[in-house]
Copies of this chain bind each other. A is one copy, B any other.
């Protein structure tokens, strides 16, 4: 084996190791942040991250969203959305409505109470996220955002969507 070949092999191996290290670090950061958010949502508002997430999606879509749309946006199964929606409906924060265009569909909307409860939480939540990322400068956040955008396109682009 020549020196050039050895170098190429080494560089490839390092690149492989690099991807693994990168992935583990990314996973760690995400876990740290979700853990903090989960704990604070519980302590401050006695609610959970998926409940908050569902309300956030509805708040961005006052016209309501179907269960399938919610499951796509929240990246969970429709069965999971059903369970979370059940709880929020029991708490009076969301309402199931019939879709006039398709009787198979259910459209979920925020109730006035749900809007009020969510907007109180959203302000505080935004502050937490700002705090978590304030270790990075605006330029660094911009770079990170762009790199993750490229990663996301690659992940969505090829197989197993």
Residues in A lying within 8 Å of B, measured CB to CB: 15-16, 18-23, 25-36, 39-40, 75, 126, 129-130, 132-136, 138, 140-145, 147-157, 160
Contact = CB atoms under 8 A, between A and B. Distances in A.
Where chain A touches its partner, the secondary structure class is helix
A18 B145 contact: yes
Contact of A151 (B31, B135, B157): B135
A154 B134 contact: yes
B19 A155 contact: no
A149 B145 CA distance: 15
Given A154-B135, A155-B29, A22 B141 contact: yes
A85 B22 CA distance: 27
